[in-house]
Chains A and B, each alone.
Chain A
């Protein structure tokens, strides 16, 4: 007889070994050692065996004892998935790794546009579905301990106390090894190692019991087969509906269960492990299930009536006095239960903390204005995980206490399976159908989960919710709403009924709502990422392409680079590759070159996205798009700069228009000037011609007449010469090509010379009054030009001053850096109408008396401006008054 003490000792010893293994594995992983062993496909395959829980270990035998071969379906589902759908699993693993997925809730949330509502839904669903399952594991341990306790009645066995301590211990283990790291990429090596060890223990235990039964009890294989035939198991018939339903459920659960997702996707080291697991895991299942029927048959035959077939694995060796074997068997069951509970708690806690606790915490800290420093968040996340593990274990414990552990283990397992399976449509749809939307997933999940609760969970587990009357006649007397015969479909097994309705409607609602609803951009992106995960994540950092894509690349490149450049670029690539024809092989090297080439034109992000579009089939990552958006922002900025430039352009255009108008005006002025010049030339020419003809043709002219007419010709010839001189002078001054001859001279000297020149040979006496003291100032200027101005002004006074006693007064005053020379005469002055135009070309006030062409003052103004000064008419004086303003020093560079 095995004492409870020994049992406790062995259990504690075994748990200690698990702790040590986990601790050792974590340490090794931390130091980067043992990776080859720990990251091997063997460990991966063994870790997958957490599919086989205490339900499998104990329950399969019980299942077989009750329902014959049907238990095989539990193994058939995962086997079919592993062998027939390993490519789907590979996609799942690839998505999980490329998107850094931490749980199945995270996966669905990520796929459907990072929807937290969906994540919360899946999390709740998982908690509801898995909690009974955890309770089931606790129950199995309790039952197995109780079996030993029954054999050792001397010890007082406290059932609930045992369960409590087991739950606490498991929670501690999960917390210790499951919440060391936060990053989903840093895997839980310790837990996985412990789980792998437990997988070995439970397999060894079950096989050992099986061998004992077949060869120890039955006496060989043939004897065993005979006994099986004789047992009621041999008479069980296959129920097609249940078989199909349960095979489907177990397959779905294998993919959807949070703990399976944890070991299969999150803890996966290398997706190539799946290839080995694809046959290794079915082999494991085969080994662990092969002795189920013999044990069940022998148990039914040898054990007393009424003994629990779920415990045959334990009770059979015990009854045969095989205490050691029984102890091993107990450890096998214990392993099954603990590994499942630990991983389930771990995976659920990740979901609960990430999708429920953290959002709530973040929102509440936001509400209080708390800053979420990364250090803070880290500790909060860790706390949330640990708290969640404890809470989930607490839930499992509470469920166990409340339910009292009455229902058959297998039944709880199947109910849990069918609940979790509701995730499947959204999961598979999300992986393979880009049209799947968040709304569709939510609706499908809601409908499927609701129907599961209504048709299976509530009637089967929470028996008190529906009265017998409700079950029989439907709620409110509505018979078509009977929980186990919806819409009048009767006579189905409850499981089949539930799977049929819930899965069918789940899929239909999922599809219909997906088609009808419109996905958000984020959903579309993520959908593309998931569905095209192999195209997109192929090859780290590089591109891979096929020949068919070269043409598309060419078309795109032509649009961006222009036909010639694109063709030249592609041809160069062909030459480099040593190939023929216009299109190069789309090697990663070529694609990178092309990307660089395109980057120059359209920016790096857009180039990457466009090549990705073609090479990876429209799989554009959010990062790509964000980068494109950044570039677009830069483009926007650029375009606003362009706008500013275009504003500048329009300003320039306006200026040009103004310049053009000015030029047009100048051109008109030039035409007018030419017309004036023509007039001024033609007038003296007319006289010259007329009188020369008279002198030539007329006979009998008196000598006086001849002299007079010759003088006229002479005068007019001089006039023409003066005109031409003035025109040339003005032209030189206006064109700015005049060379100034700057020298120093007293102002008085300049005026002396000017007065003398202007009055030389002039009839009439213009008296000039000067202020010699003020004139004693030295100027630095072009003396000849200045003198020319004074001569012109004095000559004008001499010519136009009509006073009987003509006088000219020259005043000199000083301004800032300048000297003003004012010339006043006592004549009539310039009429007001003319004062503004006297400096214009050909503006003569009194033409009949002018000897000049009307260019004198215009020339004066040009000269004064060249000298850095000015000339102006001083209105309001008695006679004509001009002011000549001149700087003391004429600076040549200022003038030019």
Chain B
């Protein structure tokens, strides 16, 4: 059950790789390179999942995830954060800020795909629980 993914990534080549992988799985991928209007792009697209780079021009991924979690509509949106800065404190900070999963570059393609699938499945399940509740 593939859906819609918004990918916020300023590195064009990385964005292209992810887009290629997810498209092959049936996802519709919207790539956006700038951090400053990332939130608006996400709101407008209403994706099933967001892949967010940490270091972005305009606004950092950390700020963007905080803003996402402040919005009621996006409170349960699964967010996969990617970063080239593989420091432990970045991971902790990101998880506190509400990132669903944290992934360090460079990653294998399989890892990305697995992560996207897992997140999507979890999101669907919790959506069902919420709907039932």
Interface residues of A (CB under 8 A from B): 675, 678-680, 682-691, 693-694, 697-698, 712, 715-716, 846-848
Contact = CB atoms under 8 A, between A and B. Distances in A.
Contact of A686 (B10, B11, B57): B11
B21 interface: yes
B87 interface: yes
Interface in B102-121: 104-110
A653 to B, nearest CB: 33
A848 B13 CA distance: 11
A694 B13 CA distance: 13
Contacts of B11: 683, 686-687
Contact of A690 (B14, B57, B85, B87): B14
Interface in B20-73: 20-21, 24, 33, 55, 57
B109 A697 contact: yes
Contacts of A678: 84-86
7 contacts: A675-B85, A685-B105, A686-B11, A687-B14, A690-B21, A698-B24, A715-B13
Contact of B57 (A679, A682, A684, A848): A848
Nearest to A690: B17
Contacts of B74: none
B25 to A, nearest CB: 12
A703 to B, nearest CB: 16
A715 B110 CA distance: 23
B92 interface: no
Interface string B84-95: 111100000000
Contacts of B33: 848
Contacts of B109: 690, 693-694, 697
A690 B13 CA distance: 9
B1 interface: no
A846 B21 CA distance: 27
Contacts of A684: 13
B12 interface: yes
Contacts of B86: 678, 682
4 smallest beta-carbon distances between A and B, as pairs: A690-B17, A682-B84, A687-B13, A686-B106
B48 to A, nearest CB: 22
Nearest to A705: B20
Contacts of A697: 109
A689 B106 contact: yes
B92 to A, nearest CB: 15
B20 A686 contact: no
Given A682-B84, A715-B13, A694 B20 contact: yes
A686 B85 contact: no
A693 B107 CA distance: 10
Given A690-B18, A691-B17, A694-B21, A683 B105 contact: yes
Contacts of A694: 17, 20-21, 109
Contact of A693 (B12, B87, B105, B108): B108
A675 B90 CA distance: 11
Given A690-B18, A694-B21, A846-B57, A716 B10 contact: no
Nearest to B107: A686
B102 to A, nearest CB: 14
Contacts of B106: 682, 685-686, 688-690
A95 B16 CA distance: 114
A848 B24 CA distance: 26
Contacts of A689: 106-108
A678 B85 CA distance: 7
Contacts of B84: 678-680, 682-683, 686
A675 B87 contact: yes
Contact of B105 (A682, A716, A847): A682
Nearest to A701: B20
Contacts of A847: 10, 57
Nearest to A689: B106
Given A678-B85, A682-B85, A691-B17, 9 more contacts: A682-B86, A682-B106, A683-B14, A686-B107, A687-B14, A693-B110, A694-B20, A712-B13, A716-B13
Nearest to B82: A686
A230 to B, nearest CB: 137
A712 B10 CA distance: 15
Contacts of A685: 105-106
B7 to A, nearest CB: 13
B13 A691 contact: yes
For A678, A686, A693, which residue has the most chain B Cβ atoms within 10 angstroms? A686
A716 B13 CA distance: 9
Most buried by A among B17, B21, B87, B104: B17
Nearest to B12: A848
Q: Which of A682, A683, A698, A847 has the most CB of B within 10 A?
A: A683
A682 B104 CA distance: 9
Contacts of A682: 84-86, 104-106
Contact of A712 (B16, B57, B110): B16
B115 to A, nearest CB: 14
Contact of A687 (B10, B17, B24, B108): B17
A694 B21 CA distance: 8
B85 A679 contact: yes
A30 B20 CA distance: 131
A447 to B, nearest CB: 95
Contacts of A846: 57
A411 to B, nearest CB: 117
A500 B87 CA distance: 108
Contacts of B107: 686, 689-690
Contacts of B18: 690
Q: Identify which of B11, B13, B107 gathers the most chain A CB atoms within 10 Å of its CB.
A: B13
A716 B84 CA distance: 15
Contacts of A686: 11, 14, 17, 84, 105-107
A686 B111 CA distance: 12
A433 B72 CA distance: 105
A823 to B, nearest CB: 25
B53 to A, nearest CB: 10
A685 B20 CA distance: 17
A715 B16 CA distance: 14
Contacts of B110: 693
Contacts of A675: 85, 87
A567 to B, nearest CB: 62
A680 B87 CA distance: 14
A511 B24 CA distance: 122
A856 B11 CA distance: 20
Contacts of A698: 24
B100 to A, nearest CB: 20
B105 to A, nearest CB: 4
B54 to A, nearest CB: 9
B83 to A, nearest CB: 8
B98 to A, nearest CB: 23
A698 B113 CA distance: 14
A715 B12 CA distance: 12
A412 B127 CA distance: 141
Nearest to A676: B85
A862 to B, nearest CB: 25
A712 B15 CA distance: 12
A106 B9 CA distance: 109
A716 B106 CA distance: 13
A678, A687, A716 — most chain B CB neighbours (10 Å): A687
A698 B17 CA distance: 12
Contacts of B104: 682
B57 to A, nearest CB: 6
Contacts of A693: 108-110
Nearest to A696: B109
A310 to B, nearest CB: 124
Contacts of B57: 846-848
A445 B69 CA distance: 108
B103 to A, nearest CB: 10
A683 B86 CA distance: 11
B81 to A, nearest CB: 14
A788 B107 CA distance: 36
A750 B106 CA distance: 41
